Amino acid sequence: GAVVSQHPSRVICKSGTSVKIECRSLDFQATTMFWYRQFPKQSLMLMATSNEGSKATYEQGVEKDKFLINHASLTLSTLTVTSAHPEDSSFYICSARDRRSGGFGETQYFGPGTRLLVL
């Protein structure tokens, strides 16, 4: 159980284009999903918290107009990198929190990540 999928796994695009990344919880409902960015040999950097049916909460320093997040259902959240530039190249990972109550309510289950390369 607690499987999170992410698509695409890898994308290469030209500078100035927009890229959409999908995150799905396959076998549970996720009221909250998270989007992280990770640079090589570094830890996870939280970009935003996404709650189903409401606007995402962005971390300080993350441009909300640059990184558009939509959490349309209990199993799907999308991250769109708008007008991508080479400095946006990174590993983007989503995670989802199982809505069921109980001791595991604070844990997050991660997708496999999306590697974005902007040329």
Partner 1 sequence: QKEVEQDPGPLSVPEGAIVSLNCTYSNSAFQYFMWYRQYSRKGPELLMYTYSSGNKEDGRFTAQVDKSSKYISLFIRDSQPSDSATYLCAMNAGNNRKLIWGLGTSLAVNP
**What residues make contact with partner 1 under the rule CB under 8 A?**
2, 4, 6, 32, 34, 41-44, 46, 49, 91, 93, 95, 97, 103-113, 115
- 46 and 59 Cβ atoms separated by less than 8 Å: yes
Q: Quick one: 65 or 106, whose CB is closer to partner 1?
A: 106
Q: Quick one: 73 or 107, whose CB is closer to partner 1?
A: 107
CB of 34 to partner 1, least distance (A): 7
CB of 20 to partner 1, least distance (A): 18
Q: Quick one: 9 or 73, whose CB is closer to partner 1?
A: 9
Strands 67-73 and 76-81: antiparallel
Q: Quick one: 13 or 44, whose CB is closer to partner 1?
A: 44
CB of 59 to partner 1, least distance (A): 8
Q: What is the DSSP letter of 55?
A: P
- The beta-strand segments (E) located in the chain are 4-7, 10-13, 19-25, 30-38, 44-51, 57-58, 67-73, 76-81, 90-98, 109-110, 114-118
CB of 65 to partner 1, least distance (A): 22
How many degrees, rounded to 5, is the angle at CA 99 between CA 106 and CA 28? 115
